[in-house]
Each structure stands twice: as C-alpha cells, then as structure tokens.
Amino acid sequence: MEQLHAFLRDHATADLLPWPAQTAAAQRFGTPLALVEEAALGLGLLPARYQRNRQAITVDQQLTLFQSRVAVIGCGGLGGYVIEELARLGVGTIIAIDPDVFEEHNLNRQLLSSPANLGQAKVAAAAARVAEINPAVTLVPIQASYAPDNGGELLRDARLVVDALDSIPTRLALAQTCAELEVPLVHGAIGGWYGQVTTQFPGDDTIQRLYSRWVEGKGVEQHLGNPSFTPALVASVEVAEACKILLGLGKTLRHRKLFINLLDMEFEEVKFVRHLVPVDE
Amino acid sequence: MHITVKLFATFRVGRFAAQAREYPEGTRIADVVRDLHIREAEIGTIMLNNRHAEPDQQLNDGDNLSIFPLVGGG
C-alpha cells in the first residue's frame, strides 16, 4: 500500500491523477482500478477524469461518492440514463436490476440499447457500458425482477435506491421495501411529454400518496408512449437528487413532487405536508 | 364561489389548461372532478393552493385547484 501511495503521489500532476497513471498503478501493483481510485482519493488526489466535477464536488466528496453503493431498479428509459450519469459522476458501486432484454421498441429512447444488442439483457449492456466509460466503477448486474420477496436481498447494503421502474404496483412495493430497509428512495416516472420526481426518506409516504387512487394498469404512458427527451431529463433530476442525498448537500424534493410538462414547458411543484396526528377529544 | 381549476397533461385534452369556474358553497374537490368527467382512478395528484389534497376536501372561494393524471412509465 505504501508503494502504491508513493507511486500515485509521484505520478500526480499537482493534485490530479491522470488516467494513464491510474491504469499503470493498477497494472504495476496488480490492483483493481477501483482500489487505485479509492487510494488516490484517500490521498487527496483527484482522478483527472473528475476535474470538471470539482467546482461542485470536493475531493473528499468524490471519495464519499466512490464509496457509495446505489441500486437502480429498472434499466430501460430512465435507468439507462441514471446508470450513465451515476457512473460518470463517480459513484463506486451501482447495482443494476432488470429482468428484460432489449427490444426494437426500446431504441427510440433507451440509452443502453442499439440495433447490435437487441435480444441482449439490459443489465449486461449496462455492465458493458460502465466498463467502457468508467472502468473504476463496479456495476453489479442482476437480471431479475425486483419483487417484495427478493427486495431485501437485492437491495442489501444499498445506501440509496433509484426508481426507474415502469410499473405502478411494483413502485409501491419498492417504496415499502425501502421503508423496511430504511433506505432513501428517489422516485421518477414518465409518460409522453410528462414526468415527475420526488424523494422519499424512511417514514415518508409521498409515493404512496402519489398513487393512492391507482386501481390497475398504467398511467398516461399507456397512450402517450415515451419519447427520447423525457427520460433523459427525469433521469437527470433523479441523479441530482441522488448526488445530494449521498453528499448531504442542498435541498432535495423530499415532501415535494416536481411535475414536468415539456409540451407547454411548465414545471409545477406540489407540496406534501406531513399527516398530522389527530388529537383525541 | 370562484375556483381556479388547472388541469395537467392529458386532462387538458377536450377540456382546458386553466379556467376560473363557479361552484356553489360546500363544493368538494370530488364534485369538481365529477363535473369535469374525470375518472378518479386516473388521477395521480390533486393540489389545492400548492399543497397536496384529497378528494373529500371542501373548497373555499378563491381556491386554486390543480389535477394531475397518473404517470407511471420508466
């Protein structure tokens, strides 16, 4: 470890560690790139790939992100962008959960899909993409459906869960699992030109209230489909929320729902006040 | 009493985006929803004066009511 630290210090330019030095260290010491990255950040050296993060995120915060484990439930429209942005942000471990393979109707919007990988598992494409764009990040691909009975196992050790699902009842179940595991949940949903985002901490019930009148089936997406720009935007808002929660920064959408209407370019905020406990008379 | 009703996304189709409407005293949110022929099961969020609300709440003169459909895609 001492030798690795000395190597990293010797090969840093000011406090930036260039990518060739990071890969050379991994090779020379037979260490995974992830461990090199963690060691560098621990020494106060910023892998140079993150230098444009720096006005927003300090080296210490970059280390916190790298040591974070985030689960993304769904690797379709929202999930593809969420995974891309988490990986580029430098979140160290991403658990990607989705049972599906890519189909042709995914190509209009799902970032990880291409004509060449139709028929391939979405989580396998996610792993390949992350290995390509940020090899220091570990993506754990789980080709399975999230369900209440496996949720505890799938989400174990996650610091945070990002909802990129396409089903209302599964979302409600996920909210329940996250409450039981005491993990924050960032919710996003899309349909046509419209989308919504909120953040739920253990003990909150915003998501349950968003869908309290749901009986069966889907929302507006059933008839409106999903164009390319809505998932990209909603996923970006979700990742901004995730980043703030992991770092304890700023003000999240807790107890607030952001409703996005891209057709008329309107952004509406709905406040969810906590339920007041009735006083016995 | 005057109620300003705003509809969102698909609820605007064949209706309106925002309209000042007249309702009798004692009108509840559910009455407005019925008046507009919106199925309650299609509603995601109801917002009364910028805060989340439930259909059984009574309206007051000057209230702003917003109705959003369910959105569930990913």
d(CA A138, CA A267): 35
φ, ψ at A147 (rounded to 5°) = -145, 155
Q: What is the pLDDT of residue A281?
A: 40
**What number of residues does chain B have?**
74
Q: What is the pLDDT of residue A276?
A: 56
Would you call A270 and B40 a contact, using CB atoms and an 8 Å cutoff? no
Would you call A191 and B9 a contact, using CB atoms and an 8 Å cutoff? yes
Please choose, from the candidates A80, A92, A83, the residue with its C-alpha nearest in 3D space to the C-alpha of residue A137.
A92
Inform me whether the C-beta atom of residue B9 falls under 8 Å from chain A C-beta atoms. Answer: yes
Mean pLDDT of all residues in A180-200: 97
Mean pLDDT of all residues in B33-56: 96
Domain edges within chain A:
2-56, 68-271
Inform me whether the C-beta atom of residue B24 falls under 8 Å from chain A C-beta atoms. Answer: no
Q: Which two tokens stand for residue A179?
A: 């409450």
Would you call A259 and B45 a contact, using CB atoms and an 8 Å cutoff? yes
Would you call A259 and B8 a contact, using CB atoms and an 8 Å cutoff? yes
Q: What is the pLDDT of residue A178?
A: 97
Q: Which residues of A219-257 are buried (b: 16+ CB within 10 A; e: fewer)?
A: bbbeebebeeebbbbbbbbbbbbbbbbbbeeeebbebbb
Chain B residue closest to A271 (CA)?
Answer: B51
**Angle at alpha carbon of residue A66, lines to A11 and A157, rounded to 5°:** 150
Model confidence at A55, pLDDT cuts 50, 70, 90, reads confident
* One-letter identity of residue A126: A
Which chain A residues are Cβ-neighbours of B50 within 8 angstroms?
Answer: 269-271
d(CA A5, CA A67): 18
> Is 90 exceeded by the pLDDT of residue A278?
no
CATH topology of domain A68-271: Rossmann fold (3.40.50)
Would you call B72 and A171 a contact, using CB atoms and an 8 Å cutoff? yes
Give the closest-approach CA distance of A73 to chain B in angstroms. 10
Domains and CATH numbers, chain B: 2-69 (3.10.20.30)
Q: Tens digits of per-residue pLDDT, A207-245?
A: 999 999 998 999 999 889 999 999 999 999 999 999 999
User: Given A191, A210, A216, which is nearest B45 (Cβ)?
Assistant: A210
Q: Which two tokens stand for residue A278?
A: 């009735």
User: Given A163, A224, A268, which is nearest B66 (Cβ)?
Assistant: A268
Mean pLDDT, chain A, as a whole number?
95
A-B contacts (CB, under 8 Å) = 106
**CB-CB contact of A261 with A267 (8 Å):** yes
User: Given B41, B51, B73, which is nearest A213 (Cβ)?
Assistant: B41
Model confidence at B23, pLDDT cuts 50, 70, 90, reads very high
Q: Tens digits of per-residue pLDDT, A97-150?
A: 999 999 999 999 999 999 999 999 999 999 999 999 999 999 999 999 999 999
Q: Tens digits of per-residue pLDDT, A264-273?
A: 999 999 999 8
Q: What is the DSSP string of A174-223?
A: HHHHHHHHT--EEEEEEETTEEEEEEE-TT--HHHHHTTT--SS--THHH
